[in-house]
Amino acid sequence: MVKAAESFTFQSGVTVANRTLMAPMTTKMSFYNGVVTQDECGYYHQRAGEVGAIVTGAANVQADGKCWEGELSVESDALIPSLSQLASAIHVGQTKAILQIFHGGRRTTKAILRGTQPVSASAVAAVIPGSEVPRPLTAAEILTTIQNFKEATRRAILAGFDGVEIHGANTYLLQQFFSPHSNRREDEWGGSLANRFRFIEAVVDGVLATVQALKPQNFLVGYRFSPEELETPGISFADTLFLVDHLADKKLDYLHVSLNDYQKVSQSEAYQERTILSYLHEKIAGRLPLIGVGNIWSSQDVAEVLTDAEFAAIGTGLLFDPHFVRKVLTQNDEAIATTLQEGNRDILRISDGAWGFLTGRSAEKLELLQK
Ligand SMILES: Cc1cc2nc3c(=O)[nH]c(=O)nc-3n(C[C@H](O)[C@H](O)[C@H](O)COP(=O)(O)O)c2cc1C
């Protein structure tokens, strides 16, 4: 049996049928207030049944954590019924449903927040055109935000998800606290590496404590992170090895790196002999399973990822081909759709939101734009 086809039981007791996951991908398909739409359920349902687990797109844990229109939300109990429909849509065959929970921090705008100023660790705008200067969270607001990650976890349990993934990647609030670019605080939440890690640790511990207190049967908690930042100062790969080393000692179920290419090499000169994935795997040293991701298009790619990780997460591949995993597991690579024709967008239920993202990132794989 190929490794990709092996089942796996996480420390929480959740068993997945194979070593593949659908990477979290925002669709921007929800209603204005974060309620899940039937179109969104249909999109996930179409991709469930073969993949081990589906991680949903990011869902905000509180109103000022919203980053874009059409975003999923888990900020109130009123959203539990629609989230429950989403979990059910994903529960096809043995596929597990994992809700990604996040706060966007400074990566949002006053317009998205209907006039409220975005918040972050400090009053430093992102180095991206159009970014606004955020307001630093007060110490009391930091504690409320941690509480809201816990509440989001409670709601995910009640909605019938099999787990949550804490989104600490892609420059959102958790990463903003860890980054020396966005975190210039001089209290216990900023300054040294250990202080910049404090918010992440408090959220992780809070979420784990929530699960422990509510005792759902088999509910997992994963953590996603980005390995380094381009900014100076910014998160270095050495900082990330510190992060991973500390998180690997927590009672988490997995660590999930966010990469656009699983073969990516660090920008840090001290870590260029092997891939980022390989260094991370070495640092974790079997304490927790690692999920690799990025530019996976064949059974060979999946097999390569699985030499340096326990799981392979597939994003764009599953957008283009809902049966990507079945084809990988049967090594039927010729049948995998590696490009996307605009005419197939409706059949594949690819939303304007996902499409807009793809035209920015994977334009060379879209067969339409030139026609
Ligand atoms: C349309 C789209 C939306 C995404 N939204 C999220 C998200 O909500 N949360 C997240 O952690 N990553 C998000 N990502 C990043 C993916 O999870 C993944 O890391 C990335 O696409 C690389 O994998 P791929 O080459 O298989 O697509 C998104 C990617 C795409 C293409």
CB of 167 sitting under 6 A from ligand 1 = yes
Q: Are 4 and 20 in contact (CB under 8 A)?
A: yes
The reported pLDDT for the residue numbered 341 is 86
Is residue 303 within 8 A of residue 3, CB to CB? The reply is yes
Mean pLDDT on 160-177 = 98
- Ligand 1 neighbour 175 (Cβ under 6 A): no
> Which residue of 25, 73, 166, 316 sits with most ligand 1 atoms within 8 Å of its CB, as the best mutation to test the pocket?
25
Assessment of whether the complete model's pTM goes beyond 0.95:
yes
Query: What is the 8-class DSSP label of residue 269?
Result: G
Q: CA–CA separation, 35 vs 81, rounded Å?
A: 9
> Is residue 17 lining ligand 1, measured as CB closer than 6 Å?
no
Q: Is the pLDDT of residue 370 over 50?
A: no
Write the residue with the smallest CA distance to atom 6 of ligand 1.
25
Q: Is 283 exposed, middle or buried (0-12, 13-18, 19+ CB in 10 A)?
A: middle
Verify whether ligand 1 is closer than 6 Å to residue 26 (CB atom).
yes
Distance 140 CA to ligand 1 centre (A): 32
Residue 54 has which token pair? 């589906």
Question: Does residue 260 have its Cβ closer than 6 Å to ligand 1?
Answer: yes
**240-254 per-position pLDDT tens digit:** 999 999 999 999 999
Can you give the pLDDT at residue 177? 98
pLDDT at 155: 98
What pLDDT digit, counting tens, does each position of 127-149 carry? 999 999 999 999 999 999 999 99
- Two structure tokens written together for 223: 């953590």
Q: What mean pLDDT comes out for the span 211-215?
A: 98
**Taking the domains of the chain in order of start, what are their residue ranges?**
8-369
Q: Which two tokens stand for residue 128?
A: 């991206």
**Nearest CA, atom 12, ligand 1:** 24
- Pick the atom of ligand 1 nearest to 318's CA: 26
**What is the model's pLDDT at position 359?**
83
Query: What integer pLDDT is reported at residue 114 of this predicted model?
Result: 97
What is the share, in percent, of the chain residues with pLDDT greater than 90? 94
In whole numbers, what is the pLDDT of the chain averaged over residues?
96
Instruction: Tell the residue nearest (CA) to atom 19 of ligand 1.
Output: 258
- pLDDT over 90 (residue 368): no
Among protein residues, the one with the nearest Cα to ligand 1's atom 3 is: 25
Distance CA 275, CA 272 (A): 7
**In a mutational test of the pocket of ligand 1, which residue from 20, 21, 26, 318 has the highest number of ligand atoms less than 8 Å from its CB?**
26
Cα(225)–Cα(171) distance, integer angstroms: 9
Residue 209 · residue 151 · CB < 8 Å: no
Residues 48, 52, 56, 62, CA torsion sign = positive
What mean pLDDT do residues 117-123 have? 98
296 Cα nearest atom in ligand 1: 26
Q: Is the pLDDT reported for residue 32 higher than 80?
A: yes
Q: Does domain 8-369 have CATH number 3.40.630.30?
A: no
Using alpha carbons, select from 122, 100, 88, 319 the residue that is nearest to residue 223: 100
For ligand 1, atom 13, the nearest C-alpha belongs to: 25
**Atom 15 (ligand 1) nearest CA:** 25
Atom of ligand 1 nearest to the CA of 293: 23
